[in-house]
Structure 1
Amino acid sequence: MAERALIVLTFAAAIGSGVVAGIFFAFSSFVMPALGRVPAESGIAVMNAVNITVYNPGFMALFMGTAAASLLLAFGSYVWWDSLDGKLLLLAALTYLVLCVAVTSAFNVPLNDALAAADQGSQQQADLWVRILNDWTFWNHIRTAAALISAIALTVVLLHQNGA
């Protein structure tokens, strides 16, 4: 019974990690470069709008639901600890939790919040916009890679468990 639940949870986390990786990849590969090509006030306005609308039930369920699944998988990895699968589960879970969720909380969200709080048209806002285009995007690359690595590791576990 525990193994069946672990497989279902691994599947859900693999899908969640993959979708999150895709969202972050979109930002790294074309959204942020596009925002950097328009006048700063337009890019800032769009970024602030995105940062408000991202707090919606669908994205939050996906992002935080995958985090919850990852936390459960970290604890559940002991079920298969004697095989590579247990170690891959722990790797996938910690990669998502630390390099995706914690990086978001420590780097991306504070930059978003600072940009939103800056006075429109101020030098502070202009400086923050440069940091968003550089630092925020750098950390987004890290989040993208982390979610992708997690999805891949979880998929390998599912393949092993299925005898592939």
Structure 2
Amino acid sequence: MSGLTTVLVPAAALGSAALAGVFGAFSGFVMRGLGDLPPATGAAAMQAVNVTALRPPLMAALFGAAAVDVAAAGTVVAGGGPAAPAVTGAAAYLAGAVLVTAAANVPLNEQLRRAAPGTAAGDAAWARYLRVWTRWNTVRAVLCLAGAVSFTVAAVR
């Protein structure tokens, strides 16, 4: 492995694992905690979380890890190393963190943003959001974890 590859591949594993942890924590206990609140309170809290999620800490981690993952896979392929684990890692991360986020979680966030907490329609929207958003978020966590594992395999080869 080249010097750049020995830096990028472990960094890709760590970045993928970090996002898997963030997504997993949300599915595992944050969403459950919000779901235990009265519907209007839980929905309003999640609406506030969705606003703060668009700020640099999460966005930099999400897209920074994507860039590192692609660069790591590219350096492995260019260097003639065992490409399958690195390419699989980048694909899993991009599918989970970027594709699922854009195709599922962001549209659900927009639906929740338009909901009126405390109304019958708002409470119904919140109940659906909790179930569907958490399911897709768990998919994100699993795919990011798969990316981390794949990059770890690439690092030790």
Give your verdict on TM over 0.5.
yes
Percent identity between the aligned chains? 38
Whole-Å separation in 1 of the counterparts to 2:87 and 2:64? 17
Structure 2 counterpart of 1:131 = 128
Matches within 5 A, 1:60-75: 60-75=59-74
Contact 2:90-2:147 within 8 A present in 1 as well: yes
Structure 2 counterpart of 1:25 = 24
Q: Deviation of residue 35 (structure 1)?
A: 1.0
Whole-Å separation in 1 of the counterparts to 2:91 and 2:72? 9
TM-score w.r.t. structure 2 length?
0.91
Q: SS at 2:135's partner residue?
A: helix
Whole-Å separation in 2 of the counterparts to 1:35 and 1:120? 13
Structure 2, unaligned stretches of length 5 or more? Answer: none
Aligned-pair Cα RMSD in Å: 1.7
Q: Deviation of residue 69 (structure 1)?
A: 1.6
Matches within 5 A, 1:5-154: 5-79=4-78, 85-154=82-151
Whole-Å separation in 1 of the counterparts to 2:93 and 2:43? 28
Whole-Å separation in 2 of the counterparts to 1:109 and 1:139? 11
Count, aligned residues: 157
Deviations 1:84-111 (A, max 9, x none): x310000000001112210000000111
Q: Deviation of residue 76 (structure 1)?
A: 3.4
Q: SS at 1:119's partner residue?
A: coil
TM-score w.r.t. structure 1 length?
0.87
Q: Deviation of residue 114 (structure 1)?
A: 1.3
Whole-Å separation in 2 of the counterparts to 1:8 and 1:125? 48
Whole-Å separation in 2 of the counterparts to 1:122 and 1:137? 22
